[in-house]
Structure 1
């Protein structure tokens, strides 16, 4: 089972990237993270008929195609999806790599809502892309700050780790069925 993870944050010390890496630590088998920061702004003119997509786009699409499942971990910006993550998904909309691909969406926030607006938006976008949302693997993690060790940049809160373990179990099970 090959898992590909996308982080909706480009920050060097992002709490969402800490959640992403903590979740990947709980998975048996190969797991990689896609670099979405190098993608150009979505422009259909760069990807139409007889066009070769930009190299970072082709790399992302190949990684998604090779994955058995996707994990998307993201913060919420102004009640929405960060632009860098939406841009990455826009490049995948018409290419078909996400069709029937099991996907878990996890949002984490310093606020009590856990990034619920971004989580709902990401699920809707992925549903439109015909991805298989594994609802039992999706999470909204509230008040994330104190749950992360700043030295290791990993989640240390036992309840959150147990919840992530359960989420990853549901995602990997869906990917192997």
Structure 2
């Protein structure tokens, strides 16, 4: 499994529906990237009880795309208190026809723990929870990507 971190969320221009059919190059690149991946893992913070504007803006650019609908999506939440953003995010993703994989969506309590990447990776409980969710996500994607065998037809 390879996980790629998308770093250009803050660089995307403000969504303009008039440009949806002929978007700026950075939006084309985002859509192409979404089209190449097998699934999308989202870890989105909560600000003022909602989805941060820059992240919602990125989703808005994907609404009119043909790459996003039906994509498997797993949600990783870093705070049990961030329930409002998660609820809003689920509503937006449902509207966008995402395929939300519940078995791969988790909440890990990192609130006020001030743990770095290395500490998170070696913490036995957190590691187990993350690995389990990633395995569920991969399993779901693998299962859905299998081409069903054709059944013989009696004539």
Q: Write the distance in 1 (CA, Å) between the matches of 2:135 and 2:126.
A: 14
Q: TM-score, normalised by structure 2?
A: 0.82
Runs (5+) with no aligned partner, structure 2: 144-155
Distance 1:131 1:160, change over 3 A: same
Q: SS of the residue aligned with 2:9?
A: coil
Q: TM-score, normalised by structure 1?
A: 0.73
How big is the alpha-carbon RMSD for the aligned residues of Structure 1 and Structure 2? Answer: 1.9
The 5 Å alignment of 1:11-160 reads: 29-34=1-6, 35-48=8-21, 52-109=22-79, 113-146=80-113, 148-149=115-116, 152=118, 154-160=120-126
Could you say which structure has the higher strand fraction? 1
Greater C-alpha Rg: 2
Q: SS of the residue aligned with 2:10?
A: coil
Runs (5+) with no aligned partner, structure 1: 1-28
Q: Write the distance in 2 (CA, Å) between the matches of 1:72 and 1:44.
A: 24
CA offsets 1:108-130 (integer angstroms, 9 cap, x no match): 13xxx341111121122111111
Could you say which structure has the higher helix fraction? 2
Q: Write the distance in 2 (CA, Å) between the matches of 1:162 and 1:154.
A: 11
- Give the conservation status (yes or no) of the 8 Å contact 1:100–1:131: yes
Q: Write the distance in 1 (CA, Å) between the matches of 2:81 and 2:125.
A: 15
Quote how far apart the aligned CAs of 1:147 are. 6.1
